[in-house]
Structure 1
Amino acid sequence: MKTRWGTCVLIALLFAATLLAAQGASVRNVSGEWQGMVGRQHLVVKIERAADGSFTGTLTVPDQGNVTLPVDDVSFAPTGALKLDLKRLGAVYEAQLSDDGSALVGTWRQGGNSIALTFRRPGAATAQFTLKARTLGSIPLEPCRTKDGNTEGLCGKYEVYENRTSKSGRKIALNIMVLPALAAKPAPDPWFALAGGPGQSAVEAYPLAGYTAKVRELRDAVLVDQRGTGQSNPLQCKLQSLEDAQAVLGEPYSLEKIRECRAESDKKADTTQYTTSIFADDLDEVRQAMGFDKINVFGGSYGTKAALVYLRRHGDHVRTVALEAVASPQFLIPLPFAKGLQSSVDGVIALCAADAACHKDYPDLGVEFKTVVELLEKSPARFEIRNQSVTLSREMFASKLRSLLYVPQFVSGFPFIIHSAHQGNWTPYAATVMGLASLMEGAVARGASFAAICTEDVPALTESAIRRETRGTYLGDSQVRRYQECCKAWGPAGSLPRDFHSAIRSRVPTLLISGALDPATPPETAKPAAHDLANSRLIIVKQGTHGTGSQCTDGLIADFVKQGSAAGLDASCTDQIHLPAFQTRAQ
């Protein structure tokens, strides 16, 4: 699972579509090339000035095969204000030229969301820090920036024992980034955001998230990379080549590669110590070292499981808990994926049928989808992409499709993708899957992911539950069986507290947000958790997915943290959250 980047991945994930369409800039001598980054994606804007003084521009994404998009309108004022309008994407970039003409500092807006984005001239020096070093509790922090250079914060390390029980042997330097509150007198209880995956970095996932910006108006945002992720002794493994289309589209992870991943991870870590419960204790030690009594905890996707485990183990120090795309400890990866995908696909097909333009272009979308699945069941599809031959099975088609449905912008292309596949044209599907794979490359530390999943999830699966949760679905039990094989290849797992999979009961104010179209963590997975949390509220976004980001949900999260209660929150704005318009054949 991934945060909205994303969402998360946020996830991230939260920013798959935003990454495909970033910005450009301009200058008093605005012509020329500008370079920037969003997350891990490099962006290049080129602006040219015509003889009549008008400007034109393009945006290129080198990490996506040098895809180049035209800027529909470029305007530049003598004051140094620049505006780039990409109408077909519904995106606008507004920036101010720095005094020395070396940088464009601005904001990218798309679909009701906004992120900070800075472009610089090639070779231009990074701007000086505005924050000053300080010590928070006993942890010294120095000025720093995110990898993309768009967010300034304070960074430091805090060492914990890898084996918290023996309190001896190897130590892990946990990577920490603090985004200081903008208020002159910050609230005494900071906001700790826990990343998804498992395996994602909080320091990479959350600085650009809309709710982070809103929350830090009043309180510090504290981001701690979970052990094994980000820069906290990362257990990063490369399991496939993005240049190999068959590997990306048509094959599960190689069991030999997983065994190699474990061997490499074991050289730097005791991977049995990289579990959610142990991370929760790491996090509480960081809280204590920083000198905080109460904290506000946020989690997205797998991060919701981590947040709930922290609540169980250290609830006396929790003021509020906010959860988006909810996966409680009872959520066993990948068991819910089969029904989640089924519900998501059926929901998107129903939305297309209710949309006049979509229904006109794809009147038989439901039938076409089922036909595609049935044909793949009989024999794999064979096609070419990037001058490579690919063989695609039903299992891999459904598995990769689930990931596409995380992202609203990809959901809008679902009817076109399925209709094209039904016509024998697999290029839209294949190109989209490979693009998403490129965006997510390196975002998840696979060693950390296997360490958690193969301890906490897969061993708890029962045959009766597998049959009950997968029978009659598009995905079937194929992904569950794959995970079982992967964990067998991974090898010996860690241990769990006895109560790990039991219900978590608490009166701490808790806000849960679920997308009705989420193919991984639909509302059904959130309802049991909400039931057991006495002071909770579950908000369901009717057209929400796993990576839905909006000013509405950002505001709900920030307001909840501000008032310390979900009571009285006006969630009516969620009814105005809609998927991007479905892609028609004319487009």
Structure 2
Amino acid sequence: MNWGPCPADVASPTLQCASLEVPLDYQHPDGQKITVEISRLPSTDPAKRRGVLLFNPGGPGGPGLAFPSTWANSGAPASLLAEYDLIGFDPRGVDHSTPVSCDLRPDQLVLAPKYAHNREEVVQASATAKQIARQCADSASAPILPYITTANTARDMDQIRAALGEQKISYFGLSYGTYLGGVYASLFPDRTDRFVLDSVVGPSGVDATTARRFGQGMQDRFPDFAKWAAARNSSYGLGATPAEVTENFFKLADKLDQHPAGGIDGSLFRLGTHSLTYQTLLFPRLAQTWQALLNGQAVPAGLLRPAATNSEQSQRSTMISVLCGDNAWPRQISTYQRNVAHDRAKYPMLGGAAANVWPCAHWAKEPLEPPVQFSDQGPSNLLLVQNLRDPATPLSGALETRAAFGDRARMVTVDQGGHGVSLPYLNGCGFNAVADYLVHGTRPDTDKFCGSEANSGRKLTPQQQQAADKIMNRLRQY
């Protein structure tokens, strides 16, 4: 590898970058090539270096070049930084790798469907989704899009392993990154060392079932915010009891459905509230947003959703390609109408959006290969870590993945809400389980449960806070 400076938007004093050519189509490895951009944060003590630790921070479509530095700055122990070269990469289709574009307009960058209150609004969402799918099919990237899949990204990871001269890789994946890690562990089981999957997607990947689980996740997690806000009613005025806070959620959503304020309608309010429950650290931001909306004040830009970046076009286009290229989604609008009616009743906060029509219902191409199946055949070296009340990847999906891997995996379940376990300021028990495994190879003999911790919301150093903001903004993108 020819390491050199990283692009200006991801540069840090210790981060190095390089480009790697990989096949567009692994069925024809001598055909067209694309590039994957890689970053490296070298081991702080080469004498103690075990190997390489690859990262994927989620998505699909999440950029990963800067993540090694971000994760190191979040409070990773010195022993871990000595143990590995930390390796990040922009997956195929994203940012500094060969990028793709569906020529999305700014208003199309929020991919999650609108909340449907009735059958007709499902039809309207279908028309919106169909337009996005048509733009992808008509774009200059159209010939590449069918190959932007999780299986091919996992094959790219193996090309990275080979280029680094490693027999095996260790891996840390967040959110969608857990599915990518599971696919790699299924395609290349003998090339895996220590694998950590944090906030676990179900074994089918990001398909219609996973999308619908957003509704379940919101319903599981929201009581944590309602309790938090009720305890601070004197500061925010959102309700004196959790029940009053919950009632105000529905009142605000209904009000904004009828009279959007400052570009925020009921759907964006629901989605934004959901994304701001990803960490308890974000609760004050969510409470400030509600407070402004209740008082008829302008909501500061970026509170409900992170501000769009210049690279968001490729990230969103990659997300669509992976969602639609990994799995065949239902094509009949009546299927979505039934699902919306069911989930709107069962998960009223978000079910009417999560079960609605995504662009994959109108995708021009069928998947080029069947989804990779997880199995219990392979080395026992997977550690899954999962919050009980995860708003994005609920426990139900994690349990399915745990069952699919059988004795290959152990799972640490943490009694807390939020999306993400492996940060030192969230839950010491959960973080220590990850650190002990990555540094020492110590994995629980059986599945483990971590209780809640009173100091989970303790004050961070400025460096940790900056790293936390970057990670959380990345995770809460739709």
TM-score w.r.t. the length of structure 2 is: 0.76
- 1:187 is matched with which residue? 49
Local SS of the residue matching 2:250: helix
Matched, 1:264 2:152: no
Shift of 1:453: 0.5
- 2:215 is matched with which residue? 338
- Indicate if the aligned counterparts of 1:200 and 1:443 stay in contact, CA closer than 8 A: no
Matched, 1:219 2:84: yes
**2-side partners of 1:147 and 1:343: how far apart?**
36
**1-side partners of 2:416 and 2:241: how far apart?**
21
Shift of 1:411: 2.1
- Indicate if the aligned counterparts of 2:55 and 2:172 stay in contact, CA closer than 8 A: yes
Local SS of the residue matching 1:152: coil
Q: How does 1:33-44 map to 2 (within 5 A)?
A: none
**2-side partners of 1:276 and 1:361: how far apart?**
42
Post-superposition Cα deviations, 1:227-274, rounded to whole Å, max 9, x if no partner, equal 1113121124563438999x999998775355334433526x421111
**1-side partners of 2:109 and 2:320: how far apart?**
23
Larger strand proportion of the pair: 1
Classify 1:494/1:544 alpha carbon distance in 2 versus 1 (closer, same or farther; 3 Å): same
- 1:208 is matched with which residue? 70
- Indicate if the aligned counterparts of 1:322 and 1:512 stay in contact, CA closer than 8 A: yes
- 1:510 is matched with which residue? 382
- 1:53 is matched with which residue? none
- Indicate if the aligned counterparts of 1:188 and 1:292 stay in contact, CA closer than 8 A: no
- 1:432 is matched with which residue? 303
Q: How does 1:108-119 map to 2 (within 5 A)?
A: none
Match of 1:539 among 399, 408, 412: 412
- 2:353 is matched with which residue? 478
- 1:325 is matched with which residue? 199
Local SS of the residue matching 1:141: coil
User: What amino acid does structure 1 have at the position aligned with 2:365?
Assistant: P
User: What amino acid does structure 1 have at the position aligned with 2:364?
Assistant: G
Post-superposition Cα deviations, 1:275-330, rounded to whole Å, max 9, x if no partner, equal 11111112112212322112111111111100000001101111111011111332
Post-superposition Cα deviations, 1:441-479, rounded to whole Å, max 9, x if no partner, equal 728611211111012356169778777666421222433
Q: How does 1:91-110 map to 2 (within 5 A)?
A: none
User: What amino acid does structure 2 have at the position aligned with 1:296?
Assistant: S
**Residue ranges of structure 2 left out of the alignment (5+ in a row):** 116-123, 460-478
Match of 2:436 among 559, 562, 565: 559
**Residue ranges of structure 1 left out of the alignment (5+ in a row):** 1-138, 582-587
Shift of 1:502: 5.1
Matched, 1:198 2:87: no
Matched, 1:153 2:25: no
- 2:35 is matched with which residue? 173
- Indicate if the aligned counterparts of 1:543 and 1:579 stay in contact, CA closer than 8 A: no
Matched, 1:496 2:366: no
Match of 1:575 among 445, 448, 453: 453
- Indicate if the aligned counterparts of 1:177 and 1:203 stay in contact, CA closer than 8 A: yes
Matched, 1:142 2:15: no
Residues matched between the structures, number:
431
Shift of 1:438: 4.0
User: What amino acid does structure 2 have at the position aligned with 1:260?
Assistant: Q
**2-side partners of 1:224 and 1:256: how far apart?**
31
**1-side partners of 2:40 and 2:196: how far apart?**
19
Of all paired residues, the percent bearing the same amino acid is: 20
Classify 1:555/1:444 alpha carbon distance in 2 versus 1 (closer, same or farther; 3 Å): farther
**1-side partners of 2:276 and 2:456: how far apart?**
17
Computing the radius of gyration over CA atoms, which structure comes out larger, 1 or 2?
A: 1
Classify 1:315/1:376 alpha carbon distance in 2 versus 1 (closer, same or farther; 3 Å): same
Matched, 1:306 2:180: yes
Match of 1:456 among 306, 312, 326: 326
Shift of 1:163: 0.9
TM-score w.r.t. the length of structure 1 is: 0.63
User: What amino acid does structure 1 have at the position aligned with 2:319?
Assistant: S
Local SS of the residue matching 2:240: coil
Larger helix proportion of the pair: 2
- 2:462 is matched with which residue? none
Classify 1:391/1:194 alpha carbon distance in 2 versus 1 (closer, same or farther; 3 Å): closer
Match of 2:154 among 280, 288, 299: 280
